[in-house]
Copies of this chain bind each other. A is one copy, B any other.
Amino acid sequence: MRSGDPSKRTLGAMPPTVVVVGAGFGGLRIARALARAPVQVLLLDRNNYHLFQPLLYQIATAGLEAEQIAKPVRAILRGQRNLEFRMVDVTGADLAARRLETSGGPVPYDYLVLAPGGETNFFGLEGVQRHGLGLKDIPDAVSIRNHILTCFEQAMLEPDGERRRARLTFVVVGGGPTGVEMAGALSELIRLVLVKDYPRLNIKDVRVLLLEATDRLLAAMPEKLREAAGATLWRKHVDVRFGATVADYDGQSVRLKSGEVVPAHTLIWAAGARAASLSARLGLPTARQGRIAVTATLQVPDYPEISVIGDAAYLEIGGEPLPMVAPVAMQMADAVAANIRAAVQGTGRMAPFRYRDPGTLATIGRNAAVAHVWGLQFRGFLAWVMWLVVHIIQLIGFRNKLFVLLNWAWDYFVYERAARLITRS
């Protein structure tokens, strides 16, 4: 690291301060990894909770309650003595002076770890941004749930067949894991649960469409699993359309690039992510998707005391940018924690980041998932059980694990979704 390195402080001085921005998978992991390091950790987030994003689509489809997949940061890190948490927005920075500006005043740092995560990327489609529904945080997910259920209530009051079908047409855009899981869960919510709520509903009026611009779902998966996923969605009555690129949306109908128009009151946008808009506020240059280009050691060029991890970090490995997924964020957190420890203790050199891909899983509904792990391929019931186990293990907190498991068991056996409330504020 450059001269003026905090590791060169004299004995007896205050330990250096590591400021971590963001309490997602990466931020939380590095905050914990530094628990025994001779540093003060200051963790900042604009929310007071850590969110288990992979299950967000289950909030949106009334399967889980928000509190079950989120946990207050202060509760998670209660026992850690060298840590302080502040709920603030980061508004700017003076990087030369090593100081962040926040809604709670200035925050000086010796080391800065940026882990702000990602946000929905609408690719400049204003109509979609205004009328479509993203799925990145709890309010997003609750909005989708409220919206879907309201569409059904309103459809029951709609005498006109055309307009009723538009209210009951649900378009999910994006054939990645989020879009596939969302479309599958939505179709099951409708066909296993809502049909019982609406005995007068003609199920033929309901459509769930999954639009994908390319010719494949779950592009990161091997071909066999991609095909299995498509076949399962088809069995679950999800209408998958390939080569379908959205051009515009006005809240009433979706216009595709091909000129086709699909009347639909619901468009759920799962077609893109980009880094959270923090980088611009900090005056750091960005690469693709608003991400900040980092060195092989995850440092920002010219500012070696600043590291970036997770969705906001842009790093190519083997010519491909690393995907915006939780395992990348967590492994980066471990790497940066090791580098900071080495720097502070004056013992080590920065090690370049190496990513070990743990594989990918995607569930499509009851008893159905695809998994590509340890180089092996699984699908159907076995993959589904693997998905369940992996997600329960990764959820933070025994209480959350217990309640999610109970919820899943309940819904599995009685074909229910208990959280189907329309909570307007």
Within 8 Å CB of A138, what residues of B? 421, 423
Contact segment of A63-71, A234-242, A284-292, A295-303: A63-71
Contact segment of A125-133, A149-157, A212-220: A149-157
Q: Nearest residue in B to A411 (C-beta to C-beta)? A: B399
Q: Compute how far the CA of A156 lies from the CA of B104 in the bound complex, rounded to whole angstroms.
A: 9
Within 8 Å CB of A422, what residues of B? 47-49, 87
CB contact under 8 A between A149 and B399, given known A78-B197, A418-B67, A420-B72: no
Within 8 Å CB of A153, what residues of B? 48, 86-87
| Contact of B139 with A424 in the complex, beta carbons under 8 Å | yes
Within 8 Å CB of A47, what residues of B? 421-422, 424
Q: Compute how far the CA of A87 lies from the CA of B149 in the bound complex, rounded to whole angstroms.
A: 11
Task: Tell me if A75 is interfacial: C-beta within 8 Å of chain B.
Answer: yes
Task: Tell me if A410 is interfacial: C-beta within 8 Å of chain B.
Answer: yes
Task: Tell me if A74 is interfacial: C-beta within 8 Å of chain B.
Answer: yes
Q: Nearest residue in B to A200 (C-beta to C-beta)? A: B84
Which of B157, B399, B420 is within 8 Å of A418, CB to CB?
B399
| Contact of B88 with A425 in the complex, beta carbons under 8 Å | no
Which interface residue of A150, A419, A423, A424 has the most chain B CB atoms within 10 A? A423
Task: Tell me if A198 is interfacial: C-beta within 8 Å of chain B.
Answer: yes
Within 8 Å CB of A196, what residues of B? 78
Q: How many residues of A contact B (CB 8 A)?
A: 48
| Contact of A48 with B421 in the complex, beta carbons under 8 Å | yes
Number of copies: 2
Q: Mark A353-373, 1 if CB is under 8 A from B, else 0.
A: 000000000000000000000
Q: Compute how far the CA of A418 lies from the CA of B400 in the bound complex, rounded to whole angstroms.
A: 9
Task: Tell me if A43 is interfacial: C-beta within 8 Å of chain B.
Answer: no
Q: Mark A100-121, 1 if CB is under 8 A from B, else 0.
A: 0000110000000000000000
Q: Compute how far the CA of A130 lies from the CA of B168 in the bound complex, rounded to whole angstroms.
A: 38
Which of B74, B75, B86, B425 is within 8 Å of A142, CB to CB?
B425
| Contact of A70 with B421 in the complex, beta carbons under 8 Å | yes
Within 8 Å CB of A105, what residues of B? 157
Q: Compute how far the CA of A240 lies from the CA of B307 in the bound complex, rounded to whole angstroms.
A: 52
CB proximity to B under 8 Å, residues A398-425: 399-400, 402-403, 406, 410, 416, 418-425
| Contact of B139 with A72 in the complex, beta carbons under 8 Å | no
Which of B74, B87, B139, B400 is within 8 Å of A425, CB to CB?
B139
| Contact of B88 with A421 in the complex, beta carbons under 8 Å | no
Task: Tell me if A7 is interfacial: C-beta within 8 Å of chain B.
Answer: no
Q: Compute how far the CA of A219 lies from the CA of B71 in the bound complex, rounded to whole angstroms.
A: 39
| Chain A to chain B contacts (Cβ below 8 Å), 25 pairs | A47-B421, A47-B422, A47-B424, A48-B149, A67-B418, A67-B419, A70-B421, A72-B421, A74-B197, A74-B198, A75-B416, A84-B200, A86-B153, A86-B157, A87-B422, A88-B157, A104-B154, A104-B157, A138-B421, A139-B424, A139-B425, A142-B423, A400-B418, A402-B406, A425-B425
User: Residues of A at under 8 Å CB distance from B?
Assistant: 47-49, 65-68, 70-72, 74-75, 78, 84, 86-88, 104-105, 138-139, 142-143, 149-150, 153-154, 156-157, 196-198, 200, 399-400, 402-403, 406, 410, 416, 418-425
Nearest 9 interchain pairs by C-beta = A104-B157, A74-B197, A139-B425, A87-B153, A67-B419, A65-B67, A48-B422, A49-B421, A65-B65
